[in-house]
Amino acid sequence: MSEAMLSKVRKLLAQAEDPACTPAESAAFTAKATELIARYGVDRALLAARDPARDPVGDRVVDVVAPYARDKAGLLAAVADPLRCRCVRRRQGNGFAMHLFGFASDLERAELLFTSLLVQAAHGLAGAVVPAGEHPAAYRRTWLAGFAQVVAERLRAAEAGAVAEAGEPSVALVLADRSDRVQRRLAEVYPRLRTAPRRRLAGGGYGSGAAAGRRADLGGTGLTGSDTSRGITG
């Protein structure tokens, strides 16, 4: 990501997280940061279509640790999929190793956003009041589920907006080809991959988590030096 764009994203993030911001102001800063991240993804895809060496298909492993490791892994998947990455969840000790596949620029975006969102989710959970009679862990898991689902919806909308803004008929074809290439790479490494059974959660935190997801900043915090496994404690 260019230093100029990264500087803009960091500034928007700082403004959105400012306690003095009203919810409307924070939402406006969030929307702009998300737009920049999405536009960056489209720009890199178009450049790579002309020069594939600029943005190769690759993979990386992100360790996700307890507590709430499965819920954190779900958040990573919710971020990765709209950004045209694919991930495989592997059990590792008390947590998971999430094996991500994608083009270099998309992997960069996914890990950047996941790092930021883990911190934001931790702050949101810290301020969430568990209703009387609710099991705290069950409430927090459903809170995280709501947060992840809304984040995924917002990212898909931002990506679609960036494609429409590009105004080039070839963009959709380029992105579809990139998704196919990522899927083929995953299939080469995991030819017998199985889909995990649908998870059932019992708790009343979904609505509160979804509201936090709507407020979350999707601009990212930086490109390197972050520990993506320890944003949430319980």
Report strand pairing: 86-92 vs 95-103.
antiparallel
Q: Is residue 116 part of a domain?
A: yes
Q: How confident is the model at residue 233 (pLDDT cuts 50, 70, 90)?
A: low
Number of domains comprising the chain: 1
pLDDT at 190: 94
Q: Is residue 232 part of a domain?
A: no
Q: What is the mean pLDDT of residues 116-130?
A: 81
Helix (H, G, I), strand (E, B) or coil at 67: coil
Q: How confident is the model at residue 59 (pLDDT cuts 50, 70, 90)?
A: very high
Q: Is the pLDDT of residue 186 over 80?
A: yes
| Cα–Cα dist 30/152, whole Å | 14
Say which residue, 232 or 176, is predicted with more confidence.
176
Q: Is residue 127 part of a domain?
A: yes
Helix (H, G, I), strand (E, B) or coil at 161: helix
DSSP element (H, E) containing 175 = helix 170-189
Say which residue, 175 or 77, is predicted with more confidence.
77
Q: Is residue 40 part of a domain?
A: yes
pTM of the model: 0.76
Q: Is residue 60 part of a domain?
A: yes
> Please, what's the largest Cα pairwise distance for the chain?
59
Q: Which domain holds residue 43?
A: 3-194+206-215
Q: Is residue 91 part of a domain?
A: yes
Q: Is residue 226 part of a domain?
A: no
Q: Is residue 98 part of a domain?
A: yes
